[in-house]
């Protein structure tokens, strides 16, 4: 087992219609407005499909990645990106209708950690890295729900 490999899955139930949630999630440059741990997203003006992102949760380290959009599927409400840098892999959002006009947002991520310090701490740090991710996801769900309510 490679202790630097991670798979995550989070399910967020939101009180907004899927089209509205999709529109917000399709604008990654706005993520720092509602997701505090995403410190910066800088689109690459040259192609419009790539950019850089920096995020930091509770643990005292910042991750930097290059994000590249994969072809979106608005009809199925699926957004996916590939990651390179401190993390290599992919992230996918899948949005499903949820009774009464709500949305179930399914977040999936599969990555390999490339940040040297995190690789050295792979075994001992794994439970802390997973907890750090869980706290970030909880904050993201709360932030997105509040953002959707406000706009």
Tens digit of pLDDT at every position of the chain (151 positions): 799 999 999 999 999 999 999 999 999 999 999 999 999 999 998 988 999 999 999 999 999 999 999 998 999 999 999 999 999 999 999 999 999 899 999 999 999 999 999 999 999 999 999 999 999 999 999 999 999 999 8
State the residue for tokens 């599969």. 110
Cβ-based neighbours of 83, under 8 Å, separated by 6 or more: 65, 66, 67, 89, 90, 91, 111
CB atoms within 10 A of CB 131: 13
Which pLDDT does position 43 carry in this prediction?
A: 94
CATH topology of domain 5-150: Alpha-D-Glucose-1,6-Bisphosphate; Chain A, domain 4 (3.30.530)
Which pLDDT does position 66 carry in this prediction?
A: 98
Q: Could you tell me the pTM of the whole model?
A: 0.94
Q: Is 99 exposed, middle or buried (0-12, 13-18, 19+ CB in 10 A)?
A: exposed
Which pLDDT does position 47 carry in this prediction?
A: 87
Helices 18-25 and 122-150, axial angle in degrees (round to 10): 120
Q: What are the boundaries of each domain within the chain?
A: 5-150
């Amino acid at each position: 087992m490679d202790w630097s490999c991670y798979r995550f899955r989070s399910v967020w139930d939101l009180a907004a219609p899927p089209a509205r949630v999709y529109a917000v999630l399709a604008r990654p440059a706005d993520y720092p407005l509602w997701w505090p741990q995403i410190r910066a997203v800088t689109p690459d003006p040259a192609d419009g499909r790539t950019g850089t992102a920096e995020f930091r949760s509770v643990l005292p380290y910042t991750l930097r990645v290059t994000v590249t959009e994969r072809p979106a599927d608005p009809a199925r409400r699926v957004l996916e990106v590939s990651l390179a840098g401190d993390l290599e892999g992919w992230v996918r959002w899948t949005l499903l209708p949820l009774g009464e006009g709500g949305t179930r947002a399914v977040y999936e991520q599969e990555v390999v950690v490339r940040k040297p310090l995190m690789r050295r701490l792979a075994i001992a740090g794994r439970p802390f890295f997973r907890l750090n991710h869980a706290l970030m996801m909880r904050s993201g769900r709360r932030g997105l729900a509040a953002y959707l309510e406000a706009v």
